Amino acid sequence: MEREQFQKILMESALKQGFEHCEVYFEATENFEVLVLEGEISHYENSNQIGICFRGIYKSNMGYAYATTMNEQTVQYLIEQAKENADVIEETEKEVIFEGSNYYTPINSYNEKLKMLSPEEKMEAAKKMEQGALQEYEQVSIDYCVLQTIEKTIALSNSKGLSLCHKKNGIVANISTIAQQNGDVKTASEDWTSNDWSTFYPQEIGRKAGEKAVSHLGAYSLPSGEYRVLLENHVAAELLSAFAGIFYGENVQKGFSLLKGKLKEKIASSKVTLRDDGLLENISGSVPFDHEGVAVKNKIIIENGKLEAFLYNLKSAAKDRTVSTGNGFKNGYKNTVKTKCTNFYIQPGGKTTRTLMAQLGEGLLITDIAGLHSGANAISGDFSLSAEGFWIERGQIVRPVEQITIGGNFYTVLKLIEEVGNDLKFITPSSNGTMGAPMIMIKRISVAGI
């Protein structure tokens, strides 16, 4: 049975069987993955799956049901399961089925040329990525080299007349390298995401990963103290990802953020403008609507240091007597809707990496951090993370640095940002959404070393 026909039959049947209103959420994913090792295919997978979430208001309660097939038997199964679910659930907060936004900005997130690629072409690209690392540096071996293409369709229909569908596809490439010299071993990785195959240069991705690993050979620690610091763009994006939740309305309401009561107050350096923009071209978090059917927009969260807005889904928005910002998303068709970013990023400034290094003069360039899951407290903002990078003198890299721990508080770091670079980069999406940042300069960060 075709999706649109299935959705229509399911909703009509549910209304006839006593549902006041109902909604059908549909999710289909096609995933291709290839891993390469020593020029050979070590793993290959091509998978397809669909998921359906049916929910409806039955006897004043919201009932849920899930399925992975679309046929006549599934229709009745979903209705019966949702009825049973509604009968046993006691809702403390009433859920709603959204009638739709006035306007949805069209977004083209689907690249037909990517769809036309053969498995052989993707495999060859993965091999080239590995070659890029191995051919350039004799000290380098490969930890792993993986290339994925992902195609996803999200469709949402309800009995209030809403009917939405969005299709997107993209590439995720990642390579991890190992450099060894005189008993010294260093690892480094490089990733790349887009849906434009024409901008993918696999050998260059591999070369960068190899260069990173080799450049850290011979590293040693620093004396403990406070240092002026540059965070590379992907490091700044990773740090932002760990603390993105402090800007969620639902976390502010629950006391899981220290930003309660601070709207329109200055909470960051005037250099900082933070956006959540789900309408960017060729970025993985871009969608015209969220999973509740609310139109996605370009929103300013912090403007020149001033806190302008929080991110909301329908339920959290109702609590604050405001409107959803289009940030209600599921992490899978069986999951409940939570707040999640689209493309969440620090707006780039005008300074190049070279200019920022010259302005830094003497200090620390952080190129990698680890331990975000255990070393970052998403409520208090405190973090303590192992890190590595380079020591800078007179605006030039002097030597690699390792075995250090950087510590601080995210709320404080926002205020200590001195400069923002022009090299905005979006990293592989996390549970909080797609994160991006340029290089940033921080006035001081505590470093624990030797």
- 260 and 406 housed in the same domain: yes
Q: What is the pLDDT of residues 16-57, one digit of tens each?
A: 999 999 999 999 999 999 999 989 999 999 999 999 999 999
Structure tokens at 97: 């089925």
- 332 and 185 housed in the same domain: no
Q: How many domains does the chain have?
A: 2
252 in any annotated domain: yes
113 in any annotated domain: yes
Q: What is the pLDDT of residues 228-277, one digit of tens each?
A: 999 999 999 999 999 999 999 999 999 999 999 999 999 999 999 999 99
Mean pLDDT (whole number) for 436-447: 97
Q: Contact 278/326 with Cβ under 8 angstroms? A: yes
- 97 and 145 housed in the same domain: yes
Structure tokens at 314: 């329908």
Q: Contact 356/421 with Cβ under 8 angstroms? A: yes
Q: CATH number, domain at 202?
A: 3.30.2290.10
409 in any annotated domain: yes
- 197 and 251 housed in the same domain: no
Nearest C-alpha neighbor of 329 from the set 214, 232, 248: 248
Structure tokens at 77: 């199964």
- 211 and 255 housed in the same domain: no
* 204 backbone φψ class: left, alpha, beta (φ>0; ψ -120 to 50): alpha
Q: Contact 213/177 with Cβ under 8 angstroms? A: yes
DSSP class per residue in 65-85: EEES--SHHHHHHHHHHHHHH
Cα–Cα distance measured from residue 94 to residue 62, given in angstroms and rounded to the nearest whole number: 8
Q: How far apart are the first and last CA of the chain?
A: 66
45 in any annotated domain: yes
| HEC per residue, 201-229 | CHHHHHHHHHHHHHHCCCCECCCCEEEEE
25: domain range?
3-215
Mean pLDDT (whole number) for 306-331: 96
Tell me which of 215, 249, 269 is where a domain ends. Answer: 215
Tell me which of 215, 237, 263 is where a domain ends. Answer: 215
- The CA dihedral of 120, 125, 129, 134, to the nearest 10 degrees, is 60
Structure tokens at 193: 């995401």
- What DSSP state is assigned to residue 357? H
At residue 319, the 3 state secondary structure works out as helix
Structure tokens at 173: 């490439």
**The dihedral sign for the CA sequence 35, 217, 220, 421:** negative
Tell me which of 215, 233, 250 is where a domain ends. Answer: 215
Element (H, E) at 127: helix 119-136
Q: What is the pLDDT of residues 47-83, one digit of tens each?
A: 999 999 999 999 989 999 999 999 999 999 999 999 9
DSSP class per residue in 420-439: EBS--EEPSPBTTBEEEE--
pLDDT of 281 higher than 70:
yes
- 186 and 157 housed in the same domain: yes
pLDDT of 10 higher than 90:
yes
- 134 and 237 housed in the same domain: no
- 55 and 184 housed in the same domain: yes
pLDDT of 91 higher than 80:
no
Q: Contact 179/216 with Cβ under 8 angstroms? A: yes
- 154 and 267 housed in the same domain: no
432 in any annotated domain: yes
Number of neighbouring beta carbons within 10 Å of residue 375 = 17
220 in any annotated domain: no
Task: Give the model's pLDDT for residue 144.
Answer: 94
Helix axis angle, 119-136 relative to 202-215, nearest 10°? Answer: 30
195 in any annotated domain: yes
**The dihedral sign for the CA sequence 132, 136, 138, 139:** negative
Cα–Cα distance measured from residue 34 to residue 146, given in angstroms and rounded to the nearest whole number: 6
- 187 and 275 housed in the same domain: no
Structure tokens at 134: 């191995």
- 158 and 289 housed in the same domain: no
Q: What is the pLDDT of residues 397-441, one digit of tens each?
A: 999 999 999 999 999 999 999 999 999 999 988 889 999 999 999
pLDDT of 92 higher than 80:
no
173 in any annotated domain: yes
Q: What is the pLDDT of residues 354-395, one digit of tens each?
A: 999 999 999 999 999 999 989 999 999 999 999 999 999 999
- 296 and 274 housed in the same domain: yes
Greatest pairwise CA separation for the chain in angstroms: 76
Mean pLDDT (whole number) for 139-166: 96
